[in-house]
Amino acid sequence: MGIFSFGRKTPSPPPAPPEPAAGARQAPPLPGPEARSGQPPLAEKPRGLLDRLKAGLAKTAQVLRTDVRDLFKREGRLVDEDFLEELRGALVRTDMGPAAAEAIVVDVRERLRARVVDPDVVLDSIRTQLLARLQNTTATLLTAATGPTVILVTGVNGSGKTTSIAKLARMFTRDGKRVVLGAGDTFRAAAVEQLSMWADRLGAEIVRGPQGSDPASVAHKAVARALETAAEICIIDTAGRLQTQSNLMQELSKIRRVVSKLIPDAPHEVLLVIDATAGQNALSQAKGFKEAAGCTGIVLAKLDGSARGGVIVPVTEQFGLPVKFVGLGESADDLESFSPERFVAALLEGAFQPDA
Which pTM value belongs to this model?
A: 0.78
pLDDT classification of 47: cutoffs 50, 70, 90: low
Which residues are within 8 A (CB) of 57 and not within 5 positions of it... i.e. 6 or more apart? 303, 305, 309, 343, 346, 347, 350
| Cα 226 from Cα 205, distance rounded (Å) | 9
Report the range of poorest mean pLDDT among 54-58, 104-108, 295-299, 350-354.
350-354
- Per-residue pLDDT reduced to its tens digit, 163-200: 999 999 999 999 999 999 999 988 888 889 999 999 99
CA 311 to chain centre: 12
**What are the pLDDT digits (tens) for 234-279?**
999 997 665 455 676 788 888 999 999 999 999 999 999 988 777 7
For the stretch 147-161, pLDDT in tens is 999 999 998 888 889
Answer for the pair 34, 43: CB distance below 8 angstroms, yes or no. yes
* Full set of structural domains in the chain with CATH: 51-134 (1.20.120.140), 149-337 (3.40.50.300)
What three-state secondary structure class fits 271? strand
Please, which pLDDT band fits residue 308 given cuts at 50, 70 and 90? low
**pLDDT reported for residue 152:** 95
Please say if the pLDDT value at position 72 is more than 90. Answer: no
Nearest to 30 by CA among 197, 152, 239, 266: 197
